[in-house]
Structure formats: structure tokens, C-alpha cells
Amino acid sequence: MHDVVLDKIRKTYNKNSLVAVDNVSLSVNKGELFGLIGPDGAGKTSIFRILTTLLLPDGGNASVSGYDVVKDYKIIRNHVGYMPGRFSLYQDLSVEENLNFFATLFGTTIKENYDLIKEIYVQIEPFKTRRAGKLSGGMKQKLALCCALIHRPTVLFLDEPTTGVDTVSRKEFWEMLKRLKSQGITIMVSTPYMDEATLCERIALIQSGKILSINTPANVIAQFPQNLFAIKSTNMSGLLKDLRDFGNIESCNAFGEYHHITLSDESDATQHELKTYLESKQHENIVLQSTTPTIEDCFIQLMNNQDGGNSN
Amino acid sequence: MAEIVIKAEKLTKRFGDFIAANEITFDVYAGEIFGFLGANGAGKTTAMRMLCGLSTPSSGKAIIAGFDIYKQTESIKKNIGYMSQKFSLYEDLTVIENITFFGGIYGLSDKEIKEKSEILIQQLGLQGVTKKLVGSLPLGWKQKLSFSVAVLHEPKIVFLDEPTGGVDPVTRRQFWDLIYEASDKGITIFVTTHYMDEAEYCNRISMMVDGVVKALDTPSNLKQEFAAGTMDEVFFELARGAKRKGD
């Protein structure tokens, strides 16, 4: 059964001049941890706001837990939890007051659903009398999550919960999500960090309002159409330029310690030719090896494909 | 040895009992790409504000582009560029108005502004949109334009505070091409980022934890020192012991 369904959803702004969401169709299974992966301006927030009934689509249909986002908005609001990208709790209420307030709004109490938030709440409980506005970024995030959960939603929408958060806190946050998922809550989460994609069960890669791919992370990677090579030398910025000038290079992107490249001809002879060419350009300690694509490799490949398609 | 453009010695900033930056000491060389990393709340922003001449240290010394951090803050501001994801360009001014405005702020003459803006517009391929509001441009273009504006006056150092946050992976890489270009011209790059692949593009990395610089070396030496395969693991090793949380 699907808990979230989007069918050709479209949303435009500025008198139709800006297409934020362009005929997006996708569905999220009950109990699934689903990731919407894409950069700023991809349309992630518009999709979340349509699903949480805060924004009306221009076209298409969408439902949450079987309820229509336009007709049944009142029911949906009782059933979903939403953590917006921008901190939107009451800054001048304390931690405890915020949580109480949201529990009351949904006709419940902290006590009734404490088991669901306990693991997260104990981390901020020592500061329960502190005003929300005075909390650190990490603590604000935990409080916002507690407030989004306090009415025991069936579907949880998290819009970029880890943006601007350091690696350590990001890891902790994803651990929390896994535990929530094990309690049967359907979770739809968005992120601009491609490396977080592999932590989801299924992902939709999205760019400029269009879906590039929907699949499990493993299948997205398996569908990368070519062999990918990692290459490095002692002069990495020079290497990038020289690689782009090599005839058989199809794509060439910096990826941290290595550059990732695809070749239009993957034969051993071409690989050898490439090394010889780079040596002639004074590159030293050249390492060329096969590598497994990351989600980011796939995203770039799909993005370039789409751009190519558009210009033709 | 290359010229030292940032020299920080026991630089400290206290807010009451709280020591945001605790005796931080490091040198940055001309033309270097220096990655300034740290967990949330480690004191990066405080340190960066001091180095830009925006916040007076509680104690310690620092020389930025040859100027004293206590007495010559105005000269420092003229000789550095600054860009962050949050503050870069004015959205309700056009491309050309932004360039003219920032050129003026950085003390360029009208003639210099005219010449430089023509070159810049051509380099970035913005010929068709010079009279468009910056707010209407795609994020990637904005980021590239705001970097180019931050180095318009050819500063010795440019400070980049999470310049690529939320930017698509293709634009993110194009942005680093611009950083490399500026570095090749001798401009020193002082950059913070949450992307650990970008940490690899830096010549040297400093890692701040709880107000102190806990590690400072080239990415490959750091990986060796912490027996880590990636910078992500190095960061995790260093930051997981942090007592301060969040910013």
C-alpha cells in the first residue's frame, strides 16, 4: 500500500513563468524511508508543502494515507508530521512549552506519546526550561523533530533536516530516522547531500522540478551506463584540465582525492594511451583504476543527459 | 618559503565565561587554498569574523595581508574579499548594479569598475542578463557571480563561508574551477565547507573542535595520521569527541 502518491503534480510561481514542480509522479510505500535528493531550487520544498496541504498544486493529484491533499486537507493535517527546512517553532517559548503546545493542538499529551519521542527528547530534556530561540542548531533540530512527532503521525515529512549540520550530527540524525522507521512511521525526507541518499530505502533524484530517477540507491548506481574510472596524479588541478583535452574523455569530474572519468572507448589500449598522454604532460604518480559510481556520479550523469536532451 | 598572508598567534575570543576561540595559531601562505573545517559550534565563525576585522579579539595577535588585526581593520577589509551562501549579492539589484556597487565598496574607480565588469561579464557568459535582477538568476549563476564580485578588486585573500551549500553537483565543481583559477593568480583562498570531498581540494586543512585548532596538515597527511581512508573519517574521528554541540 502507498502512503504518499503524487500523480503529475505541477506547481508554478510568478504567473507561470517559473515552473517549480514539473509533472512529478512518485509514490512512497507504507513504512518506507524515502529520500528526495536534489539541490536548492529543485522543487523539494514545493512538493513537501503540497503534500502537507499548505500549498495548492496547479495540476495533478496527490494523496497522503489515501486522503486527497485538496479535498481532505483537514484530515491530512491531523495525520502528518512536518518539519520545515526553516526552524519554525516558537522562539520565545521554552522547550517544554513548545512541545506541550503542539501536543495540545493535536488533542494529545506528551505523556501519551512519550515512548515515541523519548530517545530524542532525553537529549534536550536537561534544557527543557530554556527558550527555543536560545538553543544550538543541533538541539533546535531535535526539538523540532519531537514537535513533529508528538501526535504520532502516520507519515513524517522532513524538509532538509540535515542542511548546514556537521558530519557527526548528520550521522546521529539518520540513526534517529532509522529507529523511527522501525516503529512503522512512513518517512519522506529531502536532502541536498548526495551521500545521504544511500541511507534511504528508495530515492527520487530531482533537478529543476523534474524527476531524474526513482529507484533504490543500489539500482540507481547499477544503472550508471558506463565503466567509471578514478584517476589521480600529483597535480590535481592540472590533471583536470589535461583530461578534458584528451580525445576519448566523455566526462571528467573532480571527486575529492580522485577525479572520476568515463571514456568513449574503454579498451586497455585507450587507457594506456591516456597514461602516456598524461606522462607527456609531465604528470607524475598517475593512478588509474576502475571505481564504483556514487549517487553523485549518477546525479551528474543524469543531469547532463537531461541538459543534452533539452538543447537538442 | 612562500609569503605568509595570514598569521594568527594565540588568537582568542571570549564571550563572558565562554571561550569561543581558544589560542588559535596558524599561518596561511600566499596562493594557498586553506580549508577551515570544524563541527557546528566549534568557533569557526568567530575566528573568521576576527580574521576579517569584524570582531576584536580578546587576546592574541594576528596579521592579515600585512595589517594588524587590532589597529588596521579598515585596511584589512580593503584587502580581502568575502562571500558566504547567506550573504553575497543584492537580489533586488541587477547584475551590473551589483558589480558596480561592490566595486565601489571595495574602493575601485569608475574606470576600473567599467573595465573589470566587462571582462567579468564576458568570462562568466552573462552578456544577455546584465540588466536582469540577481534574484531572478539560477542559484549556480548567483554563486559564480558573487565569487567573481568578491575578487573583483584583486584582494590578497578571499574568505568563503560555505560557498557551495545546497548547490547542484555540476555547479559545485564549476565553482571550484573558479577557486583554482583565483589561486593560480596568487589569491589566497580561506574556505569553510561541509562537503568532505571539497576538503580534498584544499592544500591544507585545519580542524577546529571546541574552540581550538585540533589538527592542521595536508589532506593526505591527515588521512595518514588518523589511519583514515577519507576526509570524512578524519573529521568524524576529530569531531565526535566534541563537547560543544550546535552553533
Is the pLDDT at A179 greater than 60? The verdict is: yes
Which residues neighbour A74 within 8 Å (Cβ) at sequence distance 6 or greater?
none
Nearest-CA distance from B121 to chain A in Å? 22
A48 and A134 belong to one structural domain: yes
Distance CA A224, CA A74 (A): 42
Contact state of A299 with B162 under an 8 Å Cβ cutoff: no
pLDDT recorded at residue A47: 98
pLDDT digits (tens, 9 = 90+) for A263-292: 999 999 999 999 999 999 999 999 999 999
CA distances from B150 to A44, A161, B96, B157 (A): 30, 30, 14, 10
Distance of CA A68 to the CA centre of its chain: 24
Contact state of B166 with A166 under an 8 Å Cβ cutoff: no
Q: H helices of A106-192, where?
A: 114-124, 137-149, 167-181
Q: Tell me the residues of chain A between 153 and 182 that have a Cβ less than 8 Å away from chain B.
A: 163-169, 171
Nearest-CA distance from B111 to chain A in Å? 34
A111 and A250 belong to one structural domain: no
Q: Which of A174, A195, A220 corresponds to the end of one domain?
A: A220
Residue A34 lies in a domain: yes
A9 and A85 belong to one structural domain: yes
Q: What mean pLDDT, rounded, does chain A reach?
A: 93
Is the pLDDT at A307 greater than 80? The verdict is: no
Number of structural domains found in chain A: 2
In chain B, which residue's Cα lies nearest the Cα of A140? B246
Nearest-CA distance from B114 to chain A in Å? 30
pLDDT digits (tens, 9 = 90+) for B81-117: 999 876 679 999 999 999 999 999 988 999 999 999 9
Q: Which of A220, A249, A279 corresponds to the end of one domain?
A: A220
pLDDT digits (tens, 9 = 90+) for A190-236: 999 999 999 999 999 999 999 999 999 999 999 999 999 999 999 88
A121 and A204 belong to one structural domain: yes
pLDDT recorded at residue A214: 98
Query: pLDDT grade, residue A308 (50/70/90)?
Result: low
One-letter amino acid of A174: W
Is the pLDDT at A309 greater than 50? The verdict is: no
Contact state of A254 with B173 under an 8 Å Cβ cutoff: yes
User: Minimal CA–CA distance to B166: which of B80, B244, B88?
Assistant: B88
- Is A299 near chain B, with CB under 8 Å? yes
A76 and A170 belong to one structural domain: yes
Residue A297 lies in a domain: no
Q: Residue A42 is part of which domain span?
A: 2-220
Residue A306 lies in a domain: no
pLDDT recorded at residue B153: 92
Q: H helices of chain A, where?
A: 44-51, 73-79, 95-105, 114-124, 137-149, 167-181, 217-222, 236-244, 268-280, 295-311
A270 and A151 belong to one structural domain: no
pLDDT digits (tens, 9 = 90+) for A140-165: 889 999 999 999 999 999 999 988 77
Residue A193 lies in a domain: yes
ipTM at complex level: 0.85
pLDDT digits (tens, 9 = 90+) for A43-60: 999 999 999 999 999 999
pLDDT recorded at residue A157: 98
In chain A, which residue's Cα lies nearest the Cα of B234? A167
A90 and A134 belong to one structural domain: yes
Residue A312 lies in a domain: no
CA angle A287, B195, B46 (to 5 degrees): 130
Q: Which residues pair with B19 in a beta bridge?
A: B14
Residues A84-105: what's their mean pLDDT?
94
| Grid cell for residue B173 | 565543481
Residue A307 lies in a domain: no
Q: Name the phi and psi angles at A57, rounded to 5.
A: -70, 155
Contact state of A167 with B173 under an 8 Å Cβ cutoff: no
Nearest-CA distance from A1 to chain B in Å? 33
The parts of chain B modelled with pLDDT lower than 50 are 247
- Residues of chain A above pLDDT 90, percent: 85
- Is B243 near chain A, with CB under 8 Å? no
- Is A301 near chain B, with CB under 8 Å? no
In chain A, which residue's Cα lies nearest the Cα of B198? A256
Residue A288 lies in a domain: yes
Q: Name the phi and psi angles at A238, rounded to 5.
A: -65, -40
Size of interface A-B (CB pairs under 8 A): 103
A183 and A231 belong to one structural domain: no
Give the CATH number of the domain where residue A255 resides: 3.30.70.2070
Nearest-CB residue to A207 (from B168, B176, B244):
B168
pTM, full prediction = 0.90
Helix or strand or coil: residue A186?
strand
- Is A137 near chain B, with CB under 8 Å? yes
A283 and A167 belong to one structural domain: no
pLDDT recorded at residue B75: 94
Which residues neighbour A298 within 8 Å (Cβ) at sequence distance 6 or greater?
A205, A213, A220, A221, A223, A224
